[in-house]
Amino acid sequence: MPVHHAILKVGLALNPSSPFASGSPVATIPAHEVVAWTRRTGSDRLLLPPIQRSLVWRNIQILNYWDSLLRGYPAGLMMVHPARSAGSGAFLARTADGVTCPTSAGDFQLFDGQQRLSALLLGYGHGQLARKLRLWVDLGVDSEPGSGLLFQLRVSSSGQPFGYQAAAPNQKFSLGQRTSKIEAWRKDRNLATFDPREAFEAVKGSDVIGGVCTFPLVELIDLVAAADPAARLKLLQDTPGLAGERLDVFLSALDGALGRPILFQRIDEAVLAEESEYIRFFGRLGQGGTALSQDELTYSIIKHQYPEVHDRMTEIMRGPAGRLTGEVNLVLGAIRVAKVLSGWKHDNIWQVIGRPNPSFVSQLKELPEVEAAFQELIPSKPGGRLVTVLEGIRERLVYHRDRNPGGLPMMLLARIPHQLVDVLLLLAHLPDERPGEDPLPAFALHWLLFVSDNDRAASHVFRQFVEARPSTLAGGLPTWIDQFERDGIAHPIPLPARLPAILDEVRAGNHRLREWSERFTGLDADADRPKGNSLRVLSSQRELIKRALLWLQRKQLSESYPHFDPTSEDDEDLPIDLDHRIPSEIFGFHWRKRFHRLAFEDSDGNFFHGRNRVGNSLGNFRWLDASENRSRSDGPLEPDDLVPDVDPWNRLIEKATWDLEDAAAFQCLIDEQTITLFHALLEEGGIARLRSSNRDAGESEAARSTEPAISLSDDI
């Protein structure tokens, strides 16, 4: 047994209040004493300054840092300064657990090294990461070849409680492995449902997928701290397959890691004297590691000036409002809205309506009207208008069978871009027109499906709000969407009444598969603003297909997965797969098999080049429960809400060889379904009703003169 360090339980051997008592600007402190330094209460603590960025290290970076400590590599330089006011900054800091607190005499703040410190603390089960991550070591196997790890370190999370792949710690296990483990967990515990966070708190080493002799790292750290041979012997006796020699080798390496000296440098007082220098230095430090983006630097400066902002974001992310967007984007969006609502004037309107940057937030305290509006949204105390606004937005947008049948399911809400969140925060300050129909869900759906430039769309809404604020939401949305289309910000959409003619176009086709530009051309009467693009783009871009189907299947998804919340901070699995109705193996077979799969000569390569374009269209997809998708494989379809009559589809699926009529049916079925779904998005989604009353008068007249071929609304 190695000679172990007595750590944590007996406190610091070094007086943390004076690590630089000798007058030297540097000090070396063993890793375990650094951990104890962060765990002290009252005074003489190692804290984080409010300016610190969010935690950004991924699983592999955390494991690599621990691997470096275990190998005896240098632990890296960390920079600190006394916990006092830096320029106009407040006497506030954050604990290693992320809680804002007043500073005390003798406290130091960690200016550089937060990612490494957080990784170190995670091994002890402490710090901000410990709420959602856990470190393990498997002493029953050699480390995975190519992993670069000396020992087989593992990681699990609140969303992946049974661990990530040993050879690729950032990657989840296959869906089949995860599902099998979940089902076994439920069966063993007689659980009706699976809660990943509850499992995260309860898993043992034997539950980690692929583990042999797997232990929480903190358990072995405690064993080193105890320096008790009897505890080591008991661990060996209780763990079949654990070799004493392998255990001793690891404990020796761990003992060395915990005693590894970390070099601390005290920042020169001159850097702290001026706030501008302090902020500049912080921005420069980011260039040496994981670079700070401009938005991250902007948010860091805000936290430096208003330390409680971090606490408000934690409350929001963990509260009913949830993670509608990341905390950086949410705070910057709040300031953007505050600039407009405050009535602040500036010669350059882009200063008023644009996203804040480091230069602007550095002078925020010199703009009392903007600062007041910002602090009304995000105050220093719990609560604030932003919480109320976000909860209101969530209530107005989320699908509910009775209260909000046109709303967005949670899985689609999680895909809202941050620019739309900025706009929603702004629009929430217009008069609430309910109990009539709320146009906000339709506006959000239109944005998600047809807006092609999020930045320009948001800037347009903010500009209009400043220059000609509408009296009601319903009054502003149609004119804004008109402008989106005129400026090329969004794809122009046709009137629903024009779609039956496109159905006739589809049905008049033959086995020849259309090029992308040839599809739905009956909507392109206006050459300058071809409305067919809205359908062509929506039907072919995979992300837009996913969004459209999430909304179209909102009732099924919300009822089947009522507890799944992708806006939480857990890395949960999406419980559904995007499934081809006609499986890709049926139409996308390897071309060498064509003589057995096609009963016609594809002399010009039309089917070869066009089959994936048609087969990967909106009309050939649906969201399907992941386990059902695996069991279906390439089998026939069962009727569902979107396609109740599956006989024509199954005739194609079950035929071993396709002739010309089958190729024609392949295109016709998928394009018909695409148009049917498009119609539902426009009508049931309320998008068509967002059109201004004076728009497309000519198209409307033409539509009235056309007898609809079918009643599309009956098909959804």
293-309 pLDDT per residue, tens:
889 999 999 998 999 99
3-state secondary structure of 151: coil
3-state secondary structure of 523: helix
Residue 538 pLDDT > 60? yes
3-state secondary structure of 93: strand
Domain count of the chain?
3
Q: Are residues 95 and 157 in the same domain?
A: yes
What pLDDT is recorded for position 347?
Answer: 86
What pLDDT is recorded for position 318?
Answer: 87
User: How far is the C-alpha of 65 from the C-alpha of 58, rounded, in Å?
Assistant: 11
Say if residues 168 and 249 touch (Cβ distance below 8 Å): no
User: Across residues 85-105, what is the average pLDDT?
Assistant: 77
User: How far is the C-alpha of 336 from the C-alpha of 361, rounded, in Å?
Assistant: 11
**pLDDT, tens digit, for every residue of 654-680?**
999 999 999 999 999 999 999 999 999
User: How far is the C-alpha of 599 from the C-alpha of 276, rounded, in Å?
Assistant: 75
Let me know if residue 366 belongs to a domain. yes
Let me know if residue 232 belongs to a domain. yes
- Kindly provide the b/e burial profile for residues 284-315, where b requires at least 16 CB atoms within 10 angstroms of the residue's own CB: eebeeeeebeebbbbbbbbbbbbbbbbbbbbe
Domain residue limits at 319: 293-486
User: How far is the C-alpha of 181 from the C-alpha of 677, rounded, in Å?
Assistant: 36
Let me know if residue 635 belongs to a domain. yes
Let me know if residue 404 belongs to a domain. yes
**DSSP summary character for residue 655:** -
What pLDDT is recorded for position 482?
Answer: 92
What does residue 369 show for φ and ψ, rounded to 5 degrees?
-70, -40
Say if residues 114 and 87 touch (Cβ distance below 8 Å): no
Pairing of strands 133-138, 152-157: antiparallel
Q: Are residues 538 and 612 in the same domain?
A: yes
Final residue before a domain boundary, out of 462, 486, 510? 486
Other beta carbons within 10 Å of 370: 23
What pLDDT is recorded for position 699?
Answer: 56
What pLDDT is recorded for position 474?
Answer: 81
User: How far is the C-alpha of 466 from the C-alpha of 352, rounded, in Å?
Assistant: 9
Q: Are residues 520 and 440 in the same domain?
A: no
Let me know if residue 146 belongs to a domain. yes
Let me know if residue 540 belongs to a domain. yes
**Using 50, 70 and 90 to split pLDDT, how confident is the model at 286?**
low
Residues whose CB is less than 8 angstroms from the CB of residue 228 and which lie 6 or more positions away in sequence, other chains included: none
Please state the separation of Cα 598 from the chain's center in Å. 43
Residue 218 pLDDT > 50? yes
Q: Are residues 254 and 122 in the same domain?
A: yes
Residue 11 pLDDT > 60? no
User: Across residues 5-10, what is the average pLDDT?
Assistant: 37
Say if residues 77 and 91 touch (Cβ distance below 8 Å): no
Residue 14 pLDDT > 50? no
Q: Are residues 538 and 629 in the same domain?
A: yes
**Using 50, 70 and 90 to split pLDDT, how confident is the model at 1?**
very low
User: How far is the C-alpha of 296 from the C-alpha of 305, rounded, in Å?
Assistant: 14
3-state secondary structure of 125: coil
Final residue before a domain boundary, out of 458, 486, 514? 486
Say if residues 260 and 31 touch (Cβ distance below 8 Å): yes
Pairing of strands 77-82, 108-112: antiparallel
Q: Are residues 452 and 524 in the same domain?
A: no
Q: 657 is written with which tokens? A: 């060889």
Residues whose CB is less than 8 angstroms from the CB of residue 143 and which lie 6 or more positions away in sequence, other chains included: 149, 150, 151, 152, 153
Final residue before a domain boundary, out of 486, 510, 539? 486
Q: Which of 382, 416, 381 is nearest to 397 (CA)?
A: 416
Choice among 75-89, 183-197, 260-274 with the minimum mean pLDDT: 75-89
What pLDDT is recorded for position 276?
Answer: 83
Q: Are residues 593 and 471 in the same domain?
A: no
Q: Which of 482, 489, 530, 538 is nearest to 679 (CA)?
A: 538
Choice among 30-39, 275-284, 351-360 with the minimum mean pLDDT: 275-284
Q: Are residues 93 and 212 in the same domain?
A: yes
Cα–Cα distances (Å) from 45 to 18, 102, 126, 382, in that order, read 11, 11, 15, 25
3-state secondary structure of 80: strand
Average pLDDT of the residues of the chain:
88
Across-strand partners of 408? 398
Residue 199 pLDDT > 70? yes
Residue 157 pLDDT > 60? yes
What pLDDT is recorded for position 288?
Answer: 53
Q: 638 is written with which tokens? A: 């069962």
**pLDDT, tens digit, for every residue of 340-363?**
999 999 989 999 999 999 999 999
Task: DSSP for 380-439, please give it.
Answer: SSS--HHHHHHHHHHHHHB-BTTTBTTSB-HHHHTT--HHHHHHHHHHTTSPP-TTS---
What pLDDT is recorded for position 704?
Answer: 45
Let me know if residue 84 belongs to a domain. yes
Residue 496 pLDDT > 70? yes
User: Across residues 617-621, what is the average pLDDT?
Assistant: 97
Let me know if residue 1 belongs to a domain. no
User: Across residues 260-282, what is the average pLDDT?
Assistant: 86
Q: Are residues 232 and 333 in the same domain?
A: no
What pLDDT is recorded for position 13?
Answer: 39
Q: Are residues 144 and 260 in the same domain?
A: yes
The maximal CA–CA distance of the chain, rounded, in angstroms, is 92
Q: Are residues 225 and 317 in the same domain?
A: no
**Using 50, 70 and 90 to split pLDDT, how confident is the model at 256?**
very high
Q: Which of 539, 508, 515 is nearest to 664 (CA)?
A: 508
Residues whose CB is less than 8 angstroms from the CB of residue 362 and which lie 6 or more positions away in sequence, other chains included: 276, 279, 301
Q: Are residues 229 and 314 in the same domain?
A: no
Q: 184 is written with which tokens? A: 């076994």
What pLDDT is recorded for position 104?
Answer: 87
What pLDDT is recorded for position 697?
Answer: 47
